[in-house]
């Protein structure tokens, strides 16, 4: 058998303490790493839906902004075209309104741009309120009657008689 000396006992005790400290440190490191992974995984799982909703909302807002920009540019273009058409119609109607033989009254000046164009609020009262098929058909008849009056007042000027034209559009 061995004979133990106090020095060997002390060395063995020190070796055992060193191994114990190393094992404890290793266990603590693994425990901290495991807890950190669990907390991070739980946090990410709970916030995943929120993050997905935020990203989806962001993508929707980007698409909406793009669509609004395109619509705004289109409306601006249409507005410019309508202004040009209004100006052209004003120029065309000026001689007709001044010539009594063309259905106009002498002394009448051509309409100016501000009186030729109305705001949406001004036109709202004169807009048809009945949007049913029957209401649309009645509106079509009134427009055709008005066009016939204009055609007659203009002396037919080689235009087709409105009464000869059959309605081909379906009024909804």
Q: How would you write the pLDDT of the chain (172 residues) with one tens digit per residue?
A: 455 677 888 888 888 888 888 888 888 888 899 999 999 999 988 888 888 899 999 999 988 888 899 999 999 999 999 999 998 898 888 887 777 665 555 554 545 444 445 554 554 455 667 777 887 888 888 888 888 888 787 765 555 544 554 444 444 4
| Closest among 79, 106, 81, 82 to 94, alpha carbons compared | 106
**pLDDT value at residue 157:** 53
Contact 127, 135 (CB under 8 A): no
At which residue do the structure tokens 């040009």 appear? 84
Contact 105, 97 (CB under 8 A): yes
Question: Tokens for 33?
Answer: 């790493």
Question: Tokens for 101?
Answer: 């033989």
Per DSSP, the three-state class of 68 is helix
Question: Tokens for 91?
Answer: 């120029």
| Closest among 153, 161, 162, 159 to 104, alpha carbons compared | 153
| Closest among 164, 143, 161 to 151, alpha carbons compared | 161
- Which helix (H) or strand (E) segment is 59 a member of? helix 6-98
């Amino acid at each position: 058998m061995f004979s133990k000396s106090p020095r060997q006992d002390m060395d063995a005790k020190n070796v055992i303490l060193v191994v114990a400290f190393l094992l404890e440190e290793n266990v603590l490191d693994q425990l901290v790493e495991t807890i950190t992974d669990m907390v991070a995984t739980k946090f990410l799982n709970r916030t995943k839906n929120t993050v997905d909703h935020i990203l989806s909302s962001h993508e929707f807002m980007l698409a909406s902004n793009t669509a609004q920009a395109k619509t705004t540019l289109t409306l601006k273009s249409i507005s410019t075209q309508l202004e040009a058409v209004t100006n052209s119609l004003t120029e065309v109607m000026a001689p007709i309104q001044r010539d009594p033989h063309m259905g106009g009254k002498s002394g009448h000046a051509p309409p100016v741009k501000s009186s030729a164009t109305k705001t949406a609020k001004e036109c709202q009262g004169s807009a048809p309120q009945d949007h049913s098929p029957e209401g649309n058909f009645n509106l079509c008849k009134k427009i055709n009657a008005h066009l016939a009056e204009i055609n007659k007042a203009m002396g037919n000027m080689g235009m087709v008689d409105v009464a000869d034209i059959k309605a081909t559009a379906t009024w909804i």
